[in-house]
Structure 1
Amino acid sequence: MGKTKNTRFKRPQFTPAGLSVGAVKDAVEEEAEAEESPAVDLLEKLQSPCADIREYACASISRVVQQSQNIPGFLQRDAVRRLGPLLLDSSLAVRETATGALRNLSACGGPNVCEDMVRQDVLTPLTALLKECSLGFQVNSSPVKKEEKHTVDDVANEAVNLLWNLCESSSAAVSVFNRAGLLDALLPCLERHPHNIQLALSAAHCLHTVTEENPELTGTVSEAVLAALENVLLSTQSSMEHALLRILAAGSVWNLKGCFSSTRQADALMAVVTTLAHCLSLDAGAMLPELWQAQATRLSNSTTEPASACKDKQPAGGAMEEEEEMEEGDVEVKMNGGKRNGKKAKIDKDISDFMPRNRLELREAIALLTAQQTSLEIIVNMCCSDDPSDDEWEEMSSSDESEMFADCPDGNNSMLSPLCLSAELHTTLLNHSIPQQVLKKADFPSRVALEICNKDPAWRCLIKKMQRVQCRALTCLHNILSVMDPECLGGAEGLQVVAQHLSSLVFGSEDVMKDEEFLEAVTSAIRSLLQILASKNIPQCMSPQQLMSMCEAATQCDLVSVRVNALAILGITGSTLAKEKGSVDTLQLIGNALLNVASKDSNLVVCGEALDALFDVFADGEEAERAAQNISLFSALKALQPVFKAKIRKEGRGKYGPDQLCVLDNIRINLRRFIGYLDTLQKK
């Protein structure tokens, strides 16, 4: 239905993370766990004159709030205001655990809790803490010593992660970030990367978040910030954690590209794309088994831990000393504040950032996959136009676009052009073989890597990460197809290769059709591809029967975007078939399927897409006319017309936005016109 969407990504909100609890005694823990309502006692202990007791209380709160059902009890007792002053406690240990308790509260509580924390002014002590930490780095610039129990770096890491989570969830927090000049406080944390990669990564994640779509910040970025980011991009450490750091820096440079002088922009763009291309060139399918084998060898030579051990884990970026079995679970995190490209997005559930404290190889594996996922998301944004997307069906329908621009005096239909990339970016992406790299990442995860991850519980969290890399690659492919000239992608032959690749993904396994995230990504890519093939009259390898089978499964999906994609695919397929002889039977099947959705789907957006697809399929041609008569399309649409009109009037204003209502109203008008067209055919 008109232009295809250009999905824009923001990083998902980071997951719950634990904190240092070095002062907690086993006996006291058992006593605390026996309490039915821990909030009252723990909050009272925050006021103790004894630093050890305050630390114990903060550490216990950080653990307890990881169970989301415990959060309301703490919030009702003003936990945020009680913990806030402890961010500036005289004890480093209390500062670290208090900041960590707030970090877990924000992460496990979700966006609403984050907004509430900002309203309760948690950012005032947090800002002061971060600035003190920055001064502490200047006083002591030496590497962190492993034997030091609590350091300024540890406190800063918790503080940066809390800030990151608040800014990811709250626009008010971002405004405070801008006004308080916290970019200058983040910079020293980023520059610690030669000594403390975990702190630098936390700062890079936070920076990547706050620089996205933040024009207020862009105007205040100093030369020191740009120089620090360039320094990270030019770093040469070979670990995967440093590779992830470079990718996050590349994302921030892309977000801040307007801050670079015109003479430096070309170099910055080249550095960013070079960094992305190098990351995507890494073969995770080969590297994960190598890392796992290296881990097995190291642990077999260790006298302190058996190779089969899978406990003693900690959350990423934290220093939790409890030993407990952490498995991938469900906690709600957001993409773009719960939205994608300004529209409602699917909630992403994953707490796979929990990692063993001593498993360096697993940390490397997670960093590799996170870096590749982030690389793909950056490329998605690079290949994303600023035009409205149809995530929530906002642009004009195909039937209305032609009318809307028919009266343009200069005939300029630039809004309909998919080629929205600058020539420089377009050339740079092609020179680094980005489309080919993306297509490779769209493959299913390596079978050997999957077997290893299934074998070791500690590595099982990587399965979801590998699948997510594939989904991001498919979304990236969708955007690339939408904005690049087909000739730059290899012309007809290259597009055929893409079609065969997508066909093998969709029809290679029945299980993939049950995964909503995969369905959304792959149907978007197929939709874009089919539109290009149809516009260029290029045959493709997916048969109408295969596409109908896929669309039948997709129309049962709960995600509106998947159902809309499926209907658009049917419309493109049908309009192409209408030009071919002997296609009446298939057109009838497509027509009946679209009519069924248009009359029965509970979502008006989906109903409208089904009607728009019907207009495309049966708009012209002898085969289409015969098929329309055979399925009694005229009478079916005439009966549907008043129902659709009544639904728009009754449900529209309560459930749908102004742009959606505009599209729905255009569909209503086109439905009336199309019924008139069918009536004319019947009277011939």
Structure 2
Amino acid sequence: MGKTKKGKSKPHKKNPTGLQSLRDLENEGDGSTSSGPINTIIDQLQSASNDEKMCGLQSLSTLCQRELNIKQIIDSDLVRIAAPLLIDPDINVRQACSGCLRNLSCISVEICERLVEQDVFTPLQTLLCQYANNEWLPTNDKKVDVLDQKSDTFLQAVNIMWNLCESTSVALEFFNQSQLLQSFVRCLDHEKFGMEISISTAQCLLVISEDNPAAWRILAEFVSVFQNVLKLEGTDYKTVILRTVVAGVASNVPALTVQCLHPIIETLSKTIEINHRQVLNELTSRLPLNENETQEPTAVEIVDDEMREESEADASARRLREDLPTELDNDIKNVGYLLSAQRTASEILTNICSSEGSESKDEMEDISDAESVHDYDINEHQNGNGICEDKIPVEMTEAIKAHKIVEKLWARSQPLAENVKAILMTSEKNLYKRQNSLRISTLICLHNLCNVMTTEELGGATAIYNVWLDLGQQIFQIQQDYESLEASTSLMRATLEHLKKSRDLFQQVSDSDLQLILDGIQNCDKSEVRANWLRMLGSLGCLLAEPLVKKITDFMLETTIKEDDVWTISEALDSFMDMFSDNDWNQIVHELNVVPKSKELEKILKTKMKQRKRELGDRYPAIVTIKTNFTRFCKYLETQQKSFVPNPTT
């Protein structure tokens, strides 16, 4: 008694767990998911037996694995019935329920909205309050380094809260009323609660603190807590992501930002300076080439009766260790932490470096046609540099320059080597997606910085030109997904705004280089990307020699006439007007019949605006402004042509 021995390996039973398989669940009853397994699971969840409840929760988790079942699950009473099990007296039931609902909450925003509608929040809040009120601390099993059941249940519950608050404002309002915020801040102490709980709690706080003055008032009382986390030493990736996310929380709270600005920027700088491409290179060298090589076959171990006996506790620990992740699994998870931390850092920088002087949506919608436009003046169509006049505070700019944030972001935006990319796409698709998200976030951050910093603050015209050139080469040499392409072209467009007075840098642009761009526009089926390219053409029209300007003018007129997307048309026309800000190009206007074609474009834009007004949403006021300005621009060109004497030699 009390002793166990290793015996001979035996074949698995046909169904060793006793649980229904996914196929059995879907084939039960009349074959309909809603009438068969869902009713069975409901009966199990409502049973007085804990074993029946566990079986029902396991079956629900299994059913959630297929997308085609989700609608039936949400449309039924399953979630409403399962949710109270979050506060079931049995810890096994609570743990299984929290894990099941967490997986369900990860699926989509719509699912989270339905979870809130089916009152998941009430038992979830009650569960978390039990932890908060009892001054609970985790009791990890140090032999196997895993969370105990109570701690794991809390971790799953925090993740559910995180997903709900990120997806719906209703959940956020409920959270504000729950009195849980202080207890969440307490969990940032990783020495007491462990890294996993501290990281998840910080990520939840990052969502909760965004645009939430009710939370700001409470979080502002914990300056020392946030400062202590920001001072954490260590380069392990769990520490990196904890510091980074806490920096994000502090940057969301105005009072904390004021007191912690330099530690915040320093933390973000440390995060983005880590060479993620080198880390991924090293990791992929250890990854198996294909799924069949993930684990070498091992011989069946045969142990005789004379083998050393072990206690029940030791046997349980051994079995648990056998199920633990391998060293490679842990390394993959940690690299995932790094990529997430760097993406978060770039998003935080994007937010804190945003211009504060832009008009709100409501203000824009209140602007009438008469108030939103002025008579077209060719010399005052934009400010001198073509750059947004709203700037970030000097203190912020100095911190960004001191920590070389722009250079570090540019390094993080570089694409992976093709061999590394191929291995990740084969063996670790999740890591590939994370690094791609990181690249997109850094490109967006750089685009934002281009809009709020001067040319000199960004490193000078030559450095900006090299970024524009490198991005163009990447676009035409490396296959990219739509999101990456949009982010890249948006940054290229922003860099060109800084180069409108640097004509000398563009002397080497040839007809073939320009044709490459024109072909790229014609072959692009994404309107947002086309709009970026057409905007860039307008900027290039201010920089290139007259023969290339003529080619650009002809292409923009012909392409825009054929364009179907209203926003793309308006962007093209706006950039077309920019081309004439420094030069009237009267000879080109005459040779290409620009005036009648422009009037045709004006009619096209006006017609499409009427047809699709409801689809334009927030963009409608801006398009109205462009339309009105373009009408006056056409009149301006017509007036200029009346007094223009064409060159007879052309």
Range 441-450 or range 166-175, more displaced: 441-450
Deviation at 1:661, TM superposition (A): 2.7
Is 1:426 the counterpart of 2:397? The answer is yes
C-alpha displacement at 1:360, in angstroms?
0.9
Aligned mates of 1:443, 1:307 — CA distance in 2: 35
- Residue correspondence of structure 1 range 11-90 to structure 2 within 5 A: 26-30=17-21, 31-32=24-25, 34-35=27-28, 36=31, 37=33, 38-90=37-89
State the 1:27 CA deviation: 3.4
- The answer on whether the counterparts of 1:594 and 1:610 sit within 8 Å (CA) in structure 2 is yes
Could you tell me which residue of structure 2 aligns to residue 671 of structure 1?
630
2:616 matches 1:616:
no
Partners of 1:133 and 1:152 within 8 A in 2? no
Q: Distance in 1 between matches of 2:297 and 2:240?
A: 28
Q: State the one-letter code of the partner of 1:59.
A: Q
* Change beyond 3 A, Cα 1:518–1:295: closer
Measured after TM superposition, the shift of residue 216 of structure 1 is 2.4
Q: What's 1:196 paired with? A: 194
1:633 alignment partner in structure 2: 594
| From 469, 479, 492, the counterpart of 1:511 | 479
Give the alignment of 1:47-196 within 5 angstroms. 47-108=46-107, 110-136=108-134, 138-145=135-142, 151-192=149-190, 195-196=193-194
- Give the aligned residue type for 2:58: A
Q: Alignment partner for residue 236 of structure 1, among 233, 238, 250? A: 233
1:306 to 295, 311, 323: 295
Deviation at 1:150, TM superposition (A): 5.2
Residue of structure 2 equivalent to 1:561? 528
Distance in structure 2 (CA, Å) of the matches to 1:164 and 1:177: 10
Distance in 2 of aligned mates of 1:134 and 1:211: 19
The C-alpha deviation readout for 1:587-640, integer Å capped at 9, x for no partner, is: 232223222343222221111112222222245636x22222222111212233
Code of the aligned partner of 2:20: E
Q: Does 1:461 align with 2:450?
A: no
191-200 vs 537-546, which moves further: 537-546
- Structure 2 distance, partners of 1:372, 1:165, is 20
Amino acid of the residue matched to residue 54 of structure 2?
Answer: E
Return the alpha-carbon distance in structure 2 between the equivalents of residues 166 and 596 of structure 1: 48
User: How far apart in 1 are the matches of 2:359 and 2:558?
Assistant: 26
Asked if structure 1 preserves the Cα contact closer than 8 Å seen for 2:373 and 2:628, the reply is: no
Residue number among 544, 555, 569 corresponding to 1:593 in the alignment: 555
Displacement after TM superposition at 1:490 (Å): 2.7
SS at match of 1:306: coil
Call closer, same or farther: CA 1:122–1:451 in 2, change over 3 Å: closer
Distance 1:376 1:274 in 2: 13
Instruction: Report if aligned partners of 1:453, 1:462 keep a CA contact under 8 Å in 2.
Output: yes
Q: Which residue of structure 2 lines up, in the alignment, with residue 277 of structure 1?
A: 269
Provide the residue aligned with 1:450 in structure 2: 421
Matched-pair contact (CA < 8 Å) for 1:144–1:153 = no
SS at match of 1:209: helix
CA contact (8 A) 1:618 1:625 kept: no
SS at match of 2:124: helix
- Evaluate the alpha carbon distance shift between residue 271 and residue 640 of structure 1 in structure 2; reply closer, same or farther with a 3 A threshold: closer
Please tell me whether the aligned partners of residues 74 and 114 of structure 2 are also in contact (alpha carbons under 8 angstroms). no
Structure number, greater radius of gyration? 2
- 8 Å CA contact 2:374–2:629 kept in 1: the answer is no
SS at match of 2:19: helix
Higher RCO structure (Cα 8 Å, ≥6 apart): 1
Say if 1:588 and 1:630, in contact at 8 Å, map to a contact too. no
The DSSP-based 3-state class of the residue aligned with 1:533 is: coil
- Residue equivalent to 1:520: 486
Match of 1:377, SS state, is helix
Distance 1:618-1:416 versus aligned 2 partners, 3 A rule: closer
Q: 1:106–1:674: structure 2 CA closer, same or farther, 3 Å change rule?
A: same
Q: After alignment, is 40-49 or 550-559 more displaced?
A: 550-559
Length, aligned pairs only: 581
Separation in 1, partners of 2:623, 2:333: 49
Q: Distance in 2 between matches of 1:387 and 1:83?
A: 48
Give the AA of the match of 1:42: I
Unaligned runs of 5+ in 1: 1-23, 297-304, 310-320, 325-354
CA distance in 2, matches of 1:75, 1:471: 33
Aligned-residue offset at 1:255: 0.9
Shift of 1:365: 1.4
In the other structure, the counterpart of 2:564 is 602
* Long gaps (5+) in structure 2: 1-14, 289-293, 299-319, 644-650
Q: Distance in 2 between matches of 1:292 and 1:505?
A: 22
Cα distance, 1:231 vs. partner? 2.6
| TM-score in terms of structure 1 length | 0.77
Shift of residue 412, structure 1, vs aligned partner: 11
Over 3 Å counting, the alpha-carbon distance change for 1:595 and 1:180 in structure 2 is: same
**CA deviation string 1:271-316 (max 9, x = no partner):** 11111111122112222343456788xxxxxxxx83699xxxxxxx
The separation in 2 between residues aligned to 1:669 and 1:416, in whole angstroms, is: 22
User: What code does the residue aligned with 2:603 have?
Assistant: P
Which position in structure 2 is the counterpart of 1:546? 513
Matched residue, 2:647: none
CA contact (8 A) 2:388 2:451 kept: no
| Cα distance change, pair 675–487 in 1 and its aligned pair in 2 (3 A) | closer
8 A contact 2:138–2:147 mirrored in 1: no
Alignment partner, residue 247 of structure 1: 244
1:494 and 2:463 are equivalent in the alignment? yes
CA separation of 1:536/1:232 partners in 2, compared to 1, >3 Å: closer, same or farther? same
Equivalent residue, structure 2, for 1:642: 603
- 2:496 is aligned to 530
1:375 aligns with 2:364: no
Q: Aligned equivalents of 1:404 and 1:233: distance in 2?
A: 52
1:222 offset after TM fit, Å? 5.1
Is the partner of 1:63 in helix, strand or coil?
A: helix
1:443-472 deviation per Cα after TM superposition (whole angstroms, max 9, x unaligned): 221456435535xx4434322322332222
Q: How does 1:336-375 map to 2 (within 5 A)?
A: 359-375=329-345
SS at match of 2:498: helix
Call closer, same or farther: CA 1:412–1:591 in 2, change over 3 Å: closer
In the alignment, does 2:280 pair up with 1:288? yes
CA distance 1:171–1:149, change in 2 (3 Å): closer
Per the alignment, residue 345 of structure 1 pairs with none
Q: CA deviation at 1:650?
A: 3.0
Q: 1:575 to 1:415 in 2, by over 3 A?
A: closer
In 2: Cα distance, 1:164 partner to 1:611 partner: 43
Q: Is the 8 A contact 2:400 2:406 kept in 1?
A: yes
2:356 maps to amino acid = D
CA contact (8 A) 2:343 2:438 kept: yes
Tell me the residue number matched to 2:316: none
1:49 is paired with a residue whose SS is coil
| Separation of aligned partners in 1, 2:520 and 2:360 | 21
Displacement of 1:46 in angstroms is 0.3
CA distance in 2, matches of 1:58, 1:129: 18
Distance in 2 (CA, whole Å) between partners of 1:119 and 1:538 is 61
RMSD over aligned Cα, in angstroms? 3.5
Q: Would you say 1:651 and 2:648 are equivalent positions?
A: no
- Counterpart code for 1:223: E
The C-alpha deviation readout for 1:77-101, integer Å capped at 9, x for no partner, is 2122101211100111111221222
Of 419-428 and 138-147, the range deviating more from structure 2: 138-147
